[in-house]
Structure formats: C-alpha cells, structure tokens
Amino acid sequence: MNNHAQYPEKTQATYLGRHILAEFFDCDSNVLNNLELIEKKMSEAATACGAHIVQTCFHMFNPHGVSGVVIISESHLAIHTWPELGYAAVDLFTCGENCDPKIAYDFLKQAFSSKSGSYSELRRGMLVSPDLVQKAPFCIKDQIEV
C-alpha cells in the first residue's frame, strides 16, 4: 500500500499530503461559540474523512471564540472561530491515500450551518523518487468557491 497521494488530473506527481485551507462564512454563531460542540464536530469530521484521532486540544476564549486542533495519525485538523462574525477558519492537513480532507470540509460546512465557504488546496511534499522530496514550493490548486 502506498502512503502518498496521487493527483492524476493535472500531473502524475506524487505528494505526501493534501492541505486544505478553508473559510466558512455566515455560520451559526451559537455553534461557533460552543467549545464542546466544536470539538465534537471537528472530531467527527476527522473520522468522516478516514483519519485516526490521536488527541484533541480545544480552548474557549473570553468573551467568545474557540480554537482547537484534532491531531490525527495522518496530520491534523485545526480551527479558530469568530462567532460574533459568523466566521470560522479551518486547516485540514492529511497525508496518505486513506484520508480525503475535502470530505472533512463538506462535513464542517454543514455542521456549522455555513451559508457559504471557500477553500484552497495545497499539495505538500512532492516526491521526485520514493525517498526524495523535491526542494521546491508546494503546489497550490485553484481557489474553490462554494
């Protein structure tokens, strides 16, 4: 089994991981300001995308907002919320072929009752051979608006 992600649609290159930088707009502020619910939904998103949870750490800010991370065997899912603005910034980084961060993105968009969202996908760690990572900037996939 290969632990690297293939991207045949634009190139035959092999990458170590997919990194989605997501923004969710017009979200339910009651969800975004609920530490327990954010931790639960982020953990469920990790499981839904095929990841294996190692540990979670979340923090509630005063007067509002939650930051947290779900550490997964395949990398991490991280979030910071601005409930007063109905906005959440989310980082979804997965390695290998068994996880799809886009599934986590779709799950969280629904969980936050987001009326709109967007993401950029970075392809991280291009392999030029099975044991050598190219020393070059990561590849950025086109911005996606949904």
How far apart CA 85 and CA 90 sit, in angstroms, is 15
How far apart CA 133 and CA 91 sit, in angstroms, is 22
pLDDT at 31: 98
pLDDT at 146: 53
**Total number of residues shown for the chain:** 146
Strand partners, 93: 19, 76
Mean pLDDT within 38-54: 98
Mean pLDDT within 43-60: 98
Residue 80 designated active-site:
yes
pLDDT band for position 131 (cuts 50, 70, 90): confident
Q: What structural domains and CATH numbers belong to the chain?
A: 15-145 (3.60.90.10)
Exposed / middle / buried, residue 98 (Cβ in 10 Å: 0-12, 13-18, 19+): middle
Which of 80, 113, 120, 139 is catalytic? The answer is 80
Residue 85 has pLDDT above 90, yes or no: yes
Mean pLDDT within 68-83: 98
Which of 49, 75, 99, 114 is catalytic? The answer is 75
pLDDT at 8: 39
pLDDT at 138: 65
Task: Look at strands 87-95 and 116-129 and give their pairing.
Answer: unpaired
Which of 43, 95, 99, 114 is catalytic? The answer is 95
pLDDT digits (tens, 9 = 90+) for 86-129: 999 999 999 988 999 999 999 999 999 999 999 999 888 888 88
pLDDT digits (tens, 9 = 90+) for 2-41: 444 544 344 456 889 999 999 999 999 999 999 999 999 9
Its pTM stands at 0.86
pLDDT at 110: 98
pLDDT band for position 141 (cuts 50, 70, 90): low
